[in-house]
Amino acid sequence: MCEEFLSIEEEEAFKESFSKYAIDICTKNLGLKNPNIEKIIQLTNIPLQKIKQFEMEYKRIKLDAPGTDYNIYATTDTQIEEFNRLQKICDSLNELKVYTLKTCEAFNHRLIDINGILCPNPSHIKNL
């Protein structure tokens, strides 16, 4: 997503800090000791706040051990329909950033919170 605002040539440096990388790219060729970062960001039209938001969302993602399978295997039409219905709800709530334990309870635990993201509950789908 950030590539629409700036070119990412050093992926590891970018992953460490999206916003620092963006500032470094903007100030790279100026040769000034202490450039006014706010002015440079304004002049380059790089949406630093949006980049910082992407960075916060990226850092919220916590991956478990490699090889862990999080796929939901729906084998019946009922399971597939329920999954699709719940996924639409999850997408809307995640977009609005509306998720709490109470949200999962309100949907009778048909939704679960995985690292701050609402998803259809695989146990619910499996039990259909």
Reported as a single tens digit per residue, the pLDDT across 33-42 is 677 777 777 7
Neighbour-count burial for 33-56, b at 16+ CB within 10 Å, e otherwise: eeeeeeebbeeeebebeebeebbe
CA distances to 3, 16, 35, 119 from 46, rounded to whole Å, are 11, 18, 16, 33
How are beta strands 117-120 and 111-114 bridged, if at all?
antiparallel
Average pLDDT for 13-18: 81
**One domain for residues 83 and 121:** yes
Domain limits at 81? 77-126
Task: Quote the pTM value.
Answer: 0.45
**One domain for residues 55 and 86:** no
**One domain for residues 55 and 95:** no
**One domain for residues 118 and 82:** yes
Query: Could you tell me how far CA 2 lies from the centroid of its own chain?
Result: 12
Q: How many helices (H) and strands (E) does the chain have?
A: 7, 2
Q: What is the pLDDT of residues 81-112, one digit of tens each?
A: 998 999 999 889 888 887 667 888 889 989 98
- Residue 66 counted as domain residue: no
As a whole number of angstroms, the distance between CA 41 and CA 22 comes to 9
**One domain for residues 51 and 88:** no
